[in-house]
C-alpha cells in the first residue's frame, strides 16, 4: 500500500504537496458552489482557483526540473 502511494506521487514530497493543493481547491470550489454562503466569506471568490493553479504550477515546475520524472 505504501509503495503504491509513493509511486503515485513519483517519490516526491513536492508533487504530493501540489496534488494536495489541487484537491483542496477542488473541494473548496465544490462546497462553495453547493452552498455559496458557507465558505465564500472565509475564502473569497478566487481562493479555490488560486489553490488549483498553484498546485498545477508547482507540479509542472517540479517535473520540469527532474529529467527522470
Q: Return the pLDDT at 65.
A: 74
Give the three cell numbers for residue 46: 478566487
The total domain count for the chain is 1
| Confidence (pTM) | 0.70
Q: What is d(CA 4, CA 39) in angstroms, rounded to the nearest whole number?
A: 34
Q: Return the pLDDT at 17.
A: 86
Query: How high is the mean pLDDT in each 10-residue block of the chain (69 residues)?
Result: 76 83 88 81 83 90 75
Query: Does a structural domain hold residue 1?
Result: no
Domain, as residue range, for 51 = 13-65
Q: Return the pLDDT at 69.
A: 57
- Cα angle for residues 15, 16, 19 (degrees, 5° grid): 85
Radius of gyration for the chain, computed over Cα atoms and rounded to the nearest angstrom = 14
Q: What is d(CA 25, CA 18) in angstroms, rounded to the nearest whole number?
A: 11
Amino acid at each position: 500500500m505504501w509503495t503504491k502511494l509513493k509511486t503515485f506521487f513519483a517519490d516526491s514530497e513536492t508533487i504530493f504537496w501540489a496534488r494536495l493543493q489541487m484537491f483542496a481547491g477542488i473541494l473548496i470550489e465544490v462546497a462553495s458552489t453547493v452552498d455559496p454562503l458557507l465558505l465564500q466569506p472565509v475564502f473569497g471568490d478566487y481562493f479555490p482557483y488560486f489553490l488549483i493553479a498553484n498546485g498545477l504550477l508547482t507540479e509542472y515546475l517540479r517535473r520540469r526540473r527532474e529529467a527522470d520524472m
